[in-house]
Amino acid sequence: MTNSTLGEFSILAALVFCVWGFVNSALGGSRRDSRLAEVGRRAAIPTFLFATFALIVLEVALLTNDTSVNYVANHSASTSPLWVKIVSLWGALAGSILLWAWLLAGFLLLVSRIAKNDALRPYALATMFAVLTFFLGVNATVGSPFLEVPLPPLDGNGPNALLQNHWMMAVHPVLMYIGFVGLSVPFAYAVAAMLTGRLGETWLVQTRRWSIVAWGFLSAAIVAGGWWSYEVLGWGGYWAWDPVENASILPWFFTTAYLHSLQIQERRRILKGWNLGLIVAAFSSTVFGTFLTRSGIVQSVHSFSKSPIGPVFLGFFAVMLAITLYIAYKRLSLVRDDHSLDSPLSREGAFLAGNLLFSSFAFTVVLGTMFPVFYEAFTNKTTSVGAPFFNQVGIPIGLAILGLMAIGPALTWRRLEGVALRKTLTVPGILAVLTGIVALVLGIRDINVLFTLAFSSLAISVLFVVTGNAVRQRKQFEGGSSLKALSDLLNAYPRRYGAYITHFGVVVIAIGIAFSGAYKVERELAFRPGEMKTVLGHEVHYYSLVGEERPEKTIQAAKIEVDGKEFYPAQNYYGTQREAVSTPAIQYKVSGDFYMVLVNGDPKDQSVSLKFISSPLISWIWIGGLIVVIGAALTLIPAIVSEPKTVSSNVAAASD
């Protein structure tokens, strides 16, 4: 059997078991028949096995350069290094949908094994089976990677040059897809909660960890994507408000809002409808984003090409939204909250304001991305909405979110007496103002940077004050040293302190974004061989062009010496692609990077033009991203020490 037939067969087999699983789970749930539900649950095993088999077949075809498989013929080449061949699996559309389907099948299997056997489970599994049916269906029809090529070419067209130019491409898409797929679990439980009418906080608590895991992967993927863009695209930035980037940030906004507001429901049993809405928005935005970027409706550096997959995703998005809204409408009476919110100056009030800001940010991103499409439809004029729009709207919203995040931990649930709040916020408030003044004296005039610094100082000092208060309280009740009290607290409330660490990571990122955005400087200069120039405070000495031929690419690099160290900013030419992919050389420093790009090199007279970018504190973004993910991971650790019996109002204030 050829790889094509084998692959198509495995996808079909997975699809059959998937539909079987859906039917049995759905019937098992609605008829309260545990036998049927069990049959449905077990269908996750063969579904996953056949999906895995399909993945292996495609991987084998890629590694053996079997060009009779259309995906290999179009997106791989025998000359590529091994790792490129392996990651080519998700280097193009059909393959990445197969990876998505496989991950989803894996999550489905995991849920079917470890989820609690309750009334929600059959419905949740049925929902996941339904989503997986769509993805496998795409792989079996319009997005098949396994179509047979009648006359196989000698070699494939090779992968996209941008993708094989950096190893990060092996990591970033996988992280992103795990994040996307992870969101399907809380989404499925939300649907199950609506179908069963069990809209209490059970489904939220059951899927909290899944949501945090998904969020952690999304965060990691976004930061990794930014770093990839920085390392490969040669413009010294990391975020261009490109439609694909926008599509990836949407689920992140909704999930972040959801992770905060689910705590309101856990604590106060309100905002049921809002939480359902957020998680549905988060999951459906992953599908909407795929439609947006794969349909050719908006232009993007990332879009592979126009394909029928775009409209199919739009259809799925519409159907999914319609069904979810219909179920929600049916359950409207149950969604209503039992009681209403107390004072706005409370933890839940801050969460709510944050939710609004995150949702507004998401709306802004959708508007900016889609506006040219609508504008052209109505006026027939081609327009574009660029980075200035997103920055103008996004920076104030981002700063407001940072400010809220800073004071959030100081607020208590329900309400806070003005005195207590003043007590917690006095020192941090003074420190924040001082930070602003010191920055001003040191010559920082950019208003956004000043606000970022003030809010960052506020956020960090609030975290210290709140933790300090908790340590003091604990010592009072339990005795022992401060250090023991602190470690007890860390063990007892990993969720709270994990969140604090994540907040700290966000502060680090915010500072990185603010400084690298406001104080980035760029120079483009021409050099003759042997010439030496001072660029942005660095001694740059250009020697000559150097070249290297590899099977898959030709490298042309400029040998330069910067501050006594050699660097080789290069341009790579990949086999079949005519345009060069520049590979910048970067001098990484915590205080700021010096970024060197070879824009053009003339082999005849060895003259080059080089672009230099100095971005202060830009690496704080990557460091902060790492801290954010570590914090998120810590929140997953189960609490070790049982909570102390005496909980005074101040301890509750600092609790998650």
Q: Which CB atom, from 224 or from 233, has the smaller least distance to another protein?
A: 233
Q: Which stretch binds another protein (CB under 8 A): 217-225, 357-365, 432-440, 625-633?
A: 357-365
Verify binding: residue 366, another protein, rule CB under 8 A. no
339 or 645: whose CB is closer to another protein?
339
Position among 23, 86, 119, 526 found at the interface with another protein (CB under 8 A): 526
Give residue for tokens 């991305």. Answer: 369
Q: Is 321 exposed, middle or buried (0-12, 13-18, 19+ CB in 10 A)?
A: middle
Q: Say how far apart CA 188 and CA 172 lie, in whole Å.
A: 25
Q: Smallest gap, in angstroms, from Cβ of residue 388 to another protein?
A: 5
Which of 321, 420, 599, 630 lies at the binding interface for another protein (CB under 8 A)? 599
- How many residues interact with another protein (rule CB under 8 A)? 41
Two tokens, residue 220: 């990691």
Residue type, 623: I
Q: Does 420 bind another protein (CB under 8 A)?
A: no
Q: Of residues 417, 548, 566, 579, which one binds another protein by CB under 8 A?
A: 579
Instruction: Specify burial of residue 481 (Cβ count, 10 A radius: 0-12, 13-18, 19+).
Output: exposed
For another protein, which stretch binds (CB under 8 A), given 128-136, 197-205, 323-331, 349-357?
A: 349-357
Candidates 186-194, 281-289, 362-370, 646-654 — which segment interacts with another protein by CB under 8 A?
362-370
φ, ψ of residue 635 to 5 degrees: the values are: -65, -15
Tokens representing 397 are 């919203």
Which of 21-29, 37-45, 62-70, 391-399 is the region at the interface with another protein (rule: CB under 8 A)?
391-399
Of 232 and 580, which CB lies nearer to another protein in the complex structure? 580
Q: What is the CA radius of gyration of the chain?
A: 27
Looking only at the bridges linking them, the beta strands covering 532-535 and 608-616 are: unpaired
441 CB contacts (<8 Å, ≥6 apart)? none
Other Cβ atoms closer than 10 A to 447: 11
Q: Does 580 bind another protein (CB under 8 A)?
A: yes
| Residue in 352, 320, 54, 13 with CA at minimum distance from that of residue 184 | 320
Q: Is 341 in the site for another protein (CB under 8 A)?
A: yes
CB neighbourhood size of 310 (10 A): 20
Closest CA to 540 of 515, 523, 517: 523
When binding is defined by CB under 8 A, the residue of 40, 91, 372, 592 that contacts another protein is 372
Spatial distance between the Cα atoms of 174 and 180, rounded to a whole number of angstroms:
10
- Least CB distance from residue 16 to another protein, whole Å? 40
Is 476 near another protein (CB under 8 A)? no
If the CB atoms of residues 219 and 614 are measured against another protein, the closer one turns out to be: 614
330 token code pair: 């049916």
Q: Which is nearer to another protein, 300 or 456 (CB)?
A: 300
Number of C-beta neighbours around residue 82 at 10 A: 8
Least Cβ distance, residue 361 to another protein (angstroms): 8
Would you count residue 606 as binding another protein (CB under 8 A)?
A: no
Is 385 near another protein (CB under 8 A)?
yes
Least distance (Å) between residue 236 CB and another protein: 14
Where helices occur in 197-308 by DSSP H, the ranges are 202-232, 243-268, 272-294
Which of 35/528 has CB closer to another protein?
A: 528
Residue 375 engages another protein in binding (rule: CB under 8 A): yes
Contact between 92 and another protein by CB under 8 A: the answer reads: no
**By CB under 8 A, residue 536 contacts another protein:** no
Q: Which is nearer to another protein, 308 or 344 (CB)?
A: 344
- Please identify, using beta-carbon distances, which residue of 392 and 648 lies nearer to another protein: 392
Among 305, 333, 380, 382, interactor with another protein by CB under 8 A: 382
Shortest reach from residue 579's CB to another protein, in Å: 6
Nearer to another protein, 275 or 502 (CB): 275
Q: Supply the minimum distance, in Å, between the C-beta of residue 526 and another protein.
A: 5
**Within positions 505 to 524, which residues make up the interface with another protein, using CB under 8 A?**
524
Q: Give yes or no for residue 396 binding another protein (CB under 8 A).
A: yes
Tokens for 431, please give them. 């420190």
Binders of another protein in range 57-86 (CB under 8 A):
none
Asked if 447 interacts with another protein (CB under 8 A), we say no
In this complex, which beta carbon is closest to another protein, that of residue 141 or of residue 343?
343
Contact between 531 and 605 (Cβ < 8 Å):
no
Structure tokens at 343: 């004072």
For position 368 contacting another protein by CB under 8 A, the verdict is yes
Identify which of residues 108 and 581 has a Cβ nearer to another protein in the complex. Answer: 581
Is 371 near another protein (CB under 8 A)? yes
CB of 545 to another protein, least distance (A): 15
Q: Which amino acid is located at 256 in the chain?
A: T
Q: Determine, following the binding rule CB under 8 A, whether residue 544 of this chain makes contact with another protein.
A: no
Using CB under 8 A, which of 95, 186, 237, 349 touches another protein?
349
Nearer Cβ to another protein (129/253): 253
Q: Which residue has the tokens 């037939």?
A: 5
Closest to another protein by CB, 415 vs 475, is 415
Bridge partners (DSSP) listed for residue 574: 553
Q: Which is nearer to another protein, 241 or 283 (CB)?
A: 241
Q: Does 20 bind another protein (CB under 8 A)?
A: no
- The yes or no reply on residue 561 touching another protein (CB under 8 A) is no
CB-based contacts of 87, cutoff 8 Å, min separation 6: 163, 169, 170
Q: Which is nearer to another protein, 141 or 299 (CB)?
A: 299
**Which residue type sits at 297?**
I
Give the closest residue to 89 by CA, choosing from 70, 105, 72.
72
* 383 scored as a contact of another protein (CB under 8 A): yes
The residues near 650 (Cβ < 8 Å, ≥ 6 apart) are: 420, 469, 470, 473
367 sits near another protein (criterion: CB under 8 A)? yes
Q: Which residues make beta-bridge pairs with 592? A: 616
Residues of 206-231 as b/e, b for ≥16 C-beta within 10 angstroms?
A: bbbebbbbbbbbbbbbbbbbbbbbbb
Encoded tokens for 196 = 């069963």
Residue 168 and residue 231 in contact, taking contact as beta carbons nearer than 8 Å: yes
- SS3 annotation, 64-106: CCCCCEHHHHHHCCCCCCHHHHHHHHHCCHHHHHHHHHHHHHH
What's the CA gap between 570 and 608, in Å, rounded?
11
Contact segment (CB under 8 A) with another protein among 51-59, 183-191, 361-369, 507-515 equals 361-369
Q: Give the closest residue to 113 by CA, choosing from 135, 101, 128.
A: 128
Map residue 549 onto helix, strand or coil. Answer: strand
Catalog residues that contact another protein under the rule CB under 8 A. 299, 340-344, 349, 352-353, 356-357, 360, 363-364, 367-368, 371-372, 375, 381-386, 388-389, 392-393, 396-397, 524-526, 578-580, 599-600, 607, 609
